[in-house]
């Protein structure tokens, strides 16, 4: 256990620069976005009302209020989130391949450690999950502050929904990464963790059998995907709770299978 924690810490430290810069980019871009969008809306409102000499009510009926969901769906917000998502997906591969192709073949030392090799696998997965959830937690710290800034910059009459919960619900991608209810959160990240494990297994296939391994890895992921979708082909015959339960069981089964295969590959097949 201690070995495992050391390995996790080791991976987190290695990723800390990337992580810190992502936090900085998210914070700077999103705060800038709130300020720029609110200010430009307010100045647009006063300009239009002055130039066309219309009342506040007339402006509101033609232009509408400004809401937090308009800000949250702007590039200022989604840009850094998409960047973080893309880099973390890339990092799923990097976290393994840097050990092979880094300055010194670090994987050699890792595999020689006096611990179960599967711990390396779990440590890397835990690190990825911690980084992802860390970003989500950071976003959750920022959101109430951003809501307060919006409310202080825009007069109440011009303000639509400023509640950030509502804003999160109004865009599918955001409600996928920060769902409203905890069971949806479990589903989102359950599927996410399974996907990380599947990619790890595919990477280990490649590291074990090289070109052939890539094909096996891709086939393995397709197989897992089809298995997960299978209940939907019989959707007519299943009651909704059964469908949900079956999917949960499949999710756990596929993840377990992925771990078993990875353990075998790490212990017997992987080459340095």
Partner 1 sequence: MKRYWKTIVITLAVLLGIGTFYIRNAVSASSLPQFTFVKESGDDSEIMPIVLAGSFDRSGHFGSSEGLQIVDNEIQYSSEQSLIEQFTEGYRGEYGLIDLQEKYRSFMRGKWGSASFYEDKDFLLYATIKEEGSSEKKDFSFSISLLDKENEERTDIKIEIPMKRSIIYMGEVDVQMVGRMLKVVAEHAPYTNSDFEDKEVHVYTIDLSSKKIIADDLIFYSENAGESFINYQRLAQNNIRNPNKYIVYEKYSVQEGTDSYGNKTMEKRASELIAYNLETGKQQTIQTGRLNNPDYSGYESFYNDSAIYVIERNAEKLKIETYDIHRKKLMKTFEFPVLSSKNTEDTKVIIKNSRIYLYSADESYPRQTKQPPAQLIIADLMTGKTVYKGKLVAKKGTEMEGILRTHYMEIK
CA distance 152 to 139: 20
Confirm or reject binding of residue 244 to partner 1 (CB under 8 A): yes
Smallest gap from residue 91 Cβ to partner 1 (A): 15
Confirm or reject binding of residue 147 to partner 1 (CB under 8 A): no
CA distance 144 to 55: 31
Confirm or reject binding of residue 67 to partner 1 (CB under 8 A): yes
Smallest gap from residue 185 Cβ to partner 1 (A): 7
8-16, 34-42, 92-100, 217-225 -> range binding partner 1 (CB under 8 A): 8-16
Q: Which residue among 211, 241, 268, 271 contacts partner 1 (CB under 8 A)?
A: 241
CA distance 169 to 118: 38
CA distance 131 to 135: 6
With a CB cutoff of 8 Å and minimum separation 6, the contacts of 139 are 26, 81, 178
Q: Which residue among 30, 38, 41, 70 contacts partner 1 (CB under 8 A)?
A: 70
With a CB cutoff of 8 Å and minimum separation 6, the contacts of 133 are 189
Nearer to partner 1 among residue 141 and residue 211 (C-beta): 141
Nearer to partner 1 among residue 214 and residue 250 (C-beta): 250
Smallest gap from residue 39 Cβ to partner 1 (A): 19
Helix, strand, or coil (residue 159): strand
């Amino acid at each position: 256990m201690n070995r495992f924690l050391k390995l996790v810490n080791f991976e987190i430290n290695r990723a800390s620069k990337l992580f810190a810069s992502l936090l900085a980019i998210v914070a700077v871009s999103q705060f800038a976005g709130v300020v720029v969008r609110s200010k430009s809306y307010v100045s647009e409102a006063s300009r239009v009302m002055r130039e066309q000499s219309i009342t506040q009510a007339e402006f509101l009926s033609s232009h509408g209020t400004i809401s937090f969901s308009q800000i949250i769906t702007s590039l200022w917000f989604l840009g850094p989130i998409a960047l973080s998502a893309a880099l973390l997906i890339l990092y799923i591969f990097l976290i393994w391949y840097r050990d092979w192709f880094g300055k010194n073949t670090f994987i050699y030392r890792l595999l020689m450690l006096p611990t179960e090799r599967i711990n390396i696998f779990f440590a890397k997965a835990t690190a990825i999950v911690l980084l992802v959830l860390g970003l989500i937690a950071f976003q959750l710290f920022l959101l109430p502050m951003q809501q307060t800034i919006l409310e202080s910059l825009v007069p109440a009459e011009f303000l639509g929904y400023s509640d950030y919960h509502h804003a999160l619900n109004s865009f599918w991608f955001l409600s996928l990464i920060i769902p409203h209810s905890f069971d949806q959160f479990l589903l989102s990240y359950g599927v996410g963790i399974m996907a990380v494990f599947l990619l790890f297994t595919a990477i280990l296939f490649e590291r074990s059998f090289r070109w052939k391994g890539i094909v096996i890895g891709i086939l393995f992921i397709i197989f897992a995907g089809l298995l997960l979708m299978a209940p939907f082909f019989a959707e007519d015959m299943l009651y909704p709770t059964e469908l949900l339960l079956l999917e949960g069981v499949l999710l756990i089964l596929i993840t377990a299978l992925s771990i078993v295969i990875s353990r075998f590959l790490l212990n017997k097949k992987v080459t340095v």
